[in-house]
Amino acid sequence: MHTVFGGGPNSRDGSDLAYTDPLTGLGNQRRFVDKVDRLISDRSEDPAPFTVGILDLDGFKPINDLFGRVAGDDILIQVAMRLRAAMDGHSAVTRIGADEFAFLYPMVFSEDAASEKAKMLIEILSAPYDVGERTARLSASVGCSLFYSGDETTEILLHKAETALYQAKRSGRGRVVVYTREMEEAAKRVTRIEQALRRAVSAGEVEPHFQPIVDLKDRRVIGFEALARWTDRDLGVVPPATFIPIAEERGIIGPLSQLVLRKATEAARNWPDELFLSFNLSPSQLVDQNTGLHILAILDRTGFDPQRLEIEITETGLMSDPASAEKIVNDLRRVGIRVSLDDFGTGQSSLGRLREFHFDKLKIDRAFVSTILDDRPSEHIIRAILAMCDGLGMDVVAEGIEEEAQADRLVQFGCAGGQGYLFGRPADADATLGYLRDSFRGAARKATG
């Protein structure tokens, strides 16, 4: 077993250049797959557990950009030396990507032991690295998976480790996640939802619901925000907080968004002309240069006036590719579509974004509105936002208003627009049309009375 799993480049199968990473001298992905394949084969009669893991350096690209490619390569070589030194005679480490390393622990049999081993590797890599006369520090994230049965292939084990790594990355730097049976069930559920969602989008089964946006002073409805809602024939009602992230991650968000916008604009054609329709764009749509074309094509098809449409984007959506987002925003504004910054105050560098982009409207996040009555900092932040928007000539809508006292306080501070359960929950197209008829009847009665 020592000849098969020795970690150094001078081992029996290390001389083959096709299996060696030229920069670090470690094995490469082909070597790793070969090792795991052989171990699975060796244990086919008696499938004793073993551990595979993928280690990804956190924030390596900024270090590469800061110190230069040569220094970056030198750091990778130092990382490889530390990882190789941490392996015992049974174990192996290979380099499988730019800043990704895979390791194999044939004698690690439990999730707890795998987690401890991975934490040790992160600790080893956290010591400073010499880069000329300077030093750099790194952290790493690790995802592990355990082989339990002869049904599992190398590909399955690596996929599980990648899933665990993705979870580790999402939860912060320097984390370890071991793929568990619970994660397996969650992953299967995500796959079921993804497949059902693809079918639902193709069949046009995702519907827009509409939440009113009002003038806070006289409670007159001035527009509606369109929100995606989905009830599946097998899964039942699937909350947006569940299916929207899956649509984002699995590349379904574009077709989903186009479907909902088409249905929303078809419904909104029947509203009074002075009402606007507000619609959210996801972060991934702001890096797709076809987004503007898709929106304009839908408006052309449904005959909806672009000047009645508002597009809501979040600061997070702007951050991944500001140049792309700016081009899309400018294309939309050129035809009269208004652009609103959603969830203001919860992202980063918000004031800088307001200087770089021209927004027509800003939406104050519900986190501030919900605490406006009993939290002085929230009150001061809302006052500051309103003063700033007044200076910049931007409209404002406060989100998440649920109590009369919150609405009164916002009016007192000079906030013009409001949205929240106090004024109406999201409702389908027919119910929204009924709501509008009742509202306008009530307004007419007041005018004649």
Q: Quote the domain boundaries for residue 26.
A: 2-179
Q: Is residue 340 part of a domain?
A: yes
Please give the C-alpha separations between residue 150 and each of 157, 169, 179, 212, 259, in angstroms, as whole numbers: 11, 29, 17, 56, 44
What's the confidence (pLDDT) of residue 387?
95
Residue 416 covered by a domain = yes
Q: Could you read off the pLDDT of 127-139 as tens digits, one per residue?
A: 999 888 888 899 9
The answer to the question of residue 217 being in a domain is yes
Would you say residue 188 lies in a domain? no
pTM above 0.85, yes or no: no
| Domain count within the chain | 2
Can you tell me the distance from the alpha carbon of 348 to that of 312, in angstroms, rounded to the nearest whole number? 17
CATH assignment at residue 133: 3.30.70.270
Same domain assignment for residues 327 and 281? yes
pLDDT, residue 442, reads 65
pLDDT value for 446 = 66
Q: What is the pLDDT of residues 20-38, one digit of tens each?
A: 999 999 999 999 999 999 9
pLDDT in tens, 194-250: 999 999 999 999 999 999 999 999 999 999 999 999 999 999 999 999 999 999 989
Between 7-16, 163-172, 359-368, the lowest mean confidence (pLDDT) is in 7-16
Domain presence at residue 192: no
Q: Report yes or no on 299 lying in a domain.
A: yes
Residue 195 domain-assigned?
no
pLDDT at 356 exceeding the cut of 80: no
Instruction: Let me know: does 131 contact 75? Beta carbons within 8 Å.
Output: yes
Is 223 found in the same domain as 116?
Answer: no
